[in-house]
Structure 1
């Protein structure tokens, strides 16, 4: 459903906000990637240009890739007003759907002064999460979106929007990433590590044109000897490799074993978030030290 159809289906939303629907696209979230992210950034800026009195923007989104879209928007949307990305675990037509409540609460959060300056936010199940930290942790439970290391920022309760903490990493206008006018981003792929993994995937992604790779390694970031050899070889050829882990939480330990070959430290970003930051980082620099500074900052 497009924005107007959602509002028609859930008229109760009009009780909490004056919503002006903008028809952007109607895609499953499995079909959303860098091209759509760039279009969405432009759409957010255009909405404010067309309606300068907006208090906030709500982006409705399927939950499969919601966290990725939210993090990209958090780093690239250069607006003063909040952007809230919202989804639902149960369809609008389902028994006891969470869609209507999530949509209403997302509008409440987008209009709340406390949401300004926090980057893109994610709202589901009455919880407000920072885009950088949130991830989908369960296939079907309503409480699927969690921020494993630090928890949510606040709650959309019945009586008020209650805030409890603020993220420290720069977002929005404070970032160095300018995607205005860009039609594409550097290709970055994720290589998943597992027992006995060799370097075939590393070589295949580079052959396909990858300018960067993210290693989803064993916690706290190590990979198999064959994969380490492949990564070292492609890094020597100029491909940036950010070391993350498949664990789902916790920061990467930047040991000698990772530093000397030239891995970029992905900090505590999960692989899909590290991919987004590396894509944006490569629009600024290909230098390992410069990329490390970007990951330390954002």
Structure 2
């Protein structure tokens, strides 16, 4: 059978509650399995591939950020180098920030094998947990030749999603991960992996971003615009040293007058401003108003993903025209 590596970072998929009906307060139990423990709990995974655990550490997903992304990129490099014939890699992750880690990896990984990020909505100990089947299906996708060249993928609820587009849409429902506008890439059905489309934007490993030797990513913040927003948050971010600000504006890409004034001040001070929306779907159009303000449209990226792409863009250029090209490319 094909070899697949499993890296565990914690999250609900690794959590053990106080009993089979503990599906909400399980984190209070303070027990999270390491990668090997998860594989032992769901031995069925060995029926679809030869899966082995790769030691990492358990990190609650709200604590995961660029440092962990860098470590995972380097760890994937090492696992591929040390495992001849490796078919793919699965990374277990908490669902809170799973979409951000997946997108960051989809822009920065340098390995040729598929990498699938997987989580669960119910802890491993729960009655009718989704952890085991999600893990089995993630391994099936990672071992699949069709998954190559698609960047990092996300697998939950039998659905194969592109990292760029998928987002968490519900706190507790099993169908929480959705790709607005475009939908799934395919399904992990019981009899086969059924593929229906491929992303066409530029993806890892063929990207211009390399975070393996960086000490930090440039600071980029998100300013969420709302009724009566007066620019205080924008000015605070600029004062804190932000090199970029993503404006999460009203659809299809507007902010309040107070935020607009503060963003213009930040732009005049050299901060790169990207206009996204809080709507969760649809493009920000490259209007005359945005161009005159010097703001870069985020295309259809949600604010949290626009923040990641802007931070990575700032590692290679400070030219707004080049950054606009990057947003049109990735």
**Category of TM-score, reference length = shorter chain:** over 0.9
Give yes or no for the alignment of 1:289 onto 2:321.
yes
Give yes or no for the alignment of 1:259 onto 2:296.
no
**Contact 2:151/2:205 (8 A) holds in 1:** no
Q: Who is 2:124 aligned against? A: 92
Q: Who is 1:46 aligned against? A: 78
Determine the C-alpha separation between the residues in 1 that align with 2:48 and 2:116.
15
Which residue, out of 150, 153, 161, partners 2:182? Answer: 150
* CA apart distance, 1:124: 0.2
Q: Who is 1:215 aligned against? A: 247
Determine the C-alpha separation between the residues in 1 that align with 2:120 and 2:212.
30
* CA apart distance, 1:87: 0.2
* CA apart distance, 1:254: 1.5
Q: Who is 2:147 aligned against? A: 115
Which residue, out of 286, 293, 304, partners 1:272? Answer: 304
Determine the C-alpha separation between the residues in 1 that align with 2:171 and 2:152.
23
Give yes or no for the alignment of 1:231 onto 2:263.
yes
Structure 1 residues 143-152 or 251-260, which shifts more? 251-260
SS of equivalent to 1:55: strand
Determine the C-alpha separation between the residues in 1 that align with 2:235 and 2:249.
16
Determine the C-alpha separation between the residues in 2 that align with 1:126 and 1:195.
39
Q: Who is 1:23 aligned against? A: 55
* CA apart distance, 1:78: 1.2
* CA apart distance, 1:20: 1.4
Q: TM-score, normalised by structure 2?
A: 0.89
* CA apart distance, 1:57: 0.3
Q: Who is 2:46 aligned against? A: 14
* CA apart distance, 1:241: 0.8
Determine the C-alpha separation between the residues in 2 that align with 1:60 and 1:173.
20
Q: Who is 2:16 aligned against? A: none
* CA apart distance, 1:207: 1.2
List alignment gaps of at least 5 residues for structure 1: none
* CA RMSD, Structure 1 to Structure 2 (Å): 0.7
Which residue, out of 190, 195, 202, partners 1:163? Answer: 195
* CA apart distance, 1:180: 2.0
Q: Who is 1:248 aligned against? A: 280
* CA apart distance, 1:276: 0.4
**Contact 1:38/1:183 (8 A) holds in 2:** no
Q: Greater share of strand residues, 1 or 2?
A: 2
Per-residue CA distance 1:192-236 (angstroms, 9 max, x = gap): 000000111011111112111100000001000010010011101
Q: How many residues align?
A: 298
